[in-house]
Amino acid sequence: GYLTDDGKIWEYAGMTLELVDLLDAGDESMFSMYISCYDNIEEVATPVELVEAIYASMPDIEPQNPVDEFELFYIFASPGLQELMDAEIARHENGQMEVKYLFSVLVDGQEYDLEGLTITETFTDPVSKEVTASFTNFGVPTELVFIFIQPNDFWLLEDIQSRGEYPWSLFEILQN
């Protein structure tokens, strides 16, 4: 991602975000989250670099509900995942507080104290990649799989999954 010369737009994979709109709306915390994450991303990033940027940005946020952390990966999510995230964000903004899940999809828990984070590419083919983030959270071993697709020159996040004892898929949670 990059900040254009006018200092207003971040861009990744042809998608843009008017950061000035966030400030005009008085949403300085959201602005900070975007800046933090995109300071950690190159203009054309690999899936491993994108996942590294997400986790590098986590200490800078304090999510109040699960949709807050969408801001860490929204701009490089696939159009299908973005559409599902938009619908979930709209539900929260409209006061529909029944949530589809009550945990952070980035740590597979409600709170976090991550140790031993390793991020590795675990599957690859010409148009898709899987990146696994392994860590302990409060001493509990955890593995999350980030699934990326490459419909053009950029890698886009299609899903985040836990394949452990209690498997879940962010795409499927938001779809139901």
Q: Is the pLDDT higher at 15 or at 95? A: 95
Model pTM score: 0.75
Q: How far is residue 73's CA from residue 157's CA, in Å, rounded to a whole number? A: 8
Supply the pLDDT for residue 115: 92
Give which of 23, 49, 53, 48 is closest to 38, Cα–Cα: 53
Of 18-22, 72-76, 123-127, minimum mean pLDDT range: 18-22
% of the chain with per-residue pLDDT over 70: 66
Token pair 């709209």 is at which residue?
90
